[in-house]
Amino acid sequence: MKIIIVGATGTLGKKVTAALQGRHQIITAGSKSGDLQVDITSTASIEAFYKKAGKFDALVSVTGSGHFGPLNTMTPDDFKKGTDSKLLGQVNLVLIGQHYINPKGSFTLTSGILATDPILYGANLSTVNGAINSFVIAAAIGLENDVRINAISPGVVEDSPEYFDAFPGHIPVSMDRVVAGYLRSVLGAGTGQVVEIF
């Protein structure tokens, strides 16, 4: 399969890429690195990216940022960071990518545990993650040509200790379990699923 991984150099992206390399044709993508570059906050950049990539069988998105901070100091511009990047960035990868993906292909997006288990300072990411999950559930019944779509929703991962203090009482998730979720989405048969890993 020809698999595009957006965010391939990130904490999750590196592990997902390593798990798929060797058995598939992998195209890595990022804002500044990878085989191809793409700014997911720009629809023009996404369109140009797909034109360069050509037809593909699967896209894995492990990218997108959001705002982390107290609600009482959060501004509309702060909030927009998450909606423009992690939410609309990933949604637009699907809306534009559906015209380039091969029949029976798949999209795998990344949300997160904050959709259903919020933490202090995480209102933006909770909103964004919940919206990604809802988009995946709804898009699954609208995508044509048997194209599948799922979201991986991990808890705080063991390779990100800098976030542990923000998730009191949470047991960090092993990277092997998270990667297995991505493999299940890309190589399995499910669609419209939010794969929670915590």
Three-class HEC string of the chain: CEEEEECCCCHHHHHHHHHHECCEEEEEEECCCECEECCCCCHHHHHHHHHHHCCEEEEEECCCCCCCCCHHHCCHHHHHHHHHHHHHHHHHHHHHHCCCEEEEEEEEEECCHHHCCCCCCCHHHHHHHHHHHHHHHHHCCCCCCCCEEEEEEECCECCCHHHHHHCCCCCCECHHHHHHHHHHHHHCCCCCEEEEEC
Structural domain spans, the chain: 2-197
In the chain, what percentage of residues exceed pLDDT 70? Answer: 100
Read off the pLDDT band of 98 (50, 70, 90): very high
Tell me: domain 2-197, CATH 3.90.1300.10, correct? Answer: no
Read off the pLDDT band of 36 (50, 70, 90): very high
* pLDDT the model gives residue 23: 94
User: What average pLDDT does the structure give for the chain?
Assistant: 97
* pLDDT the model gives residue 97: 98
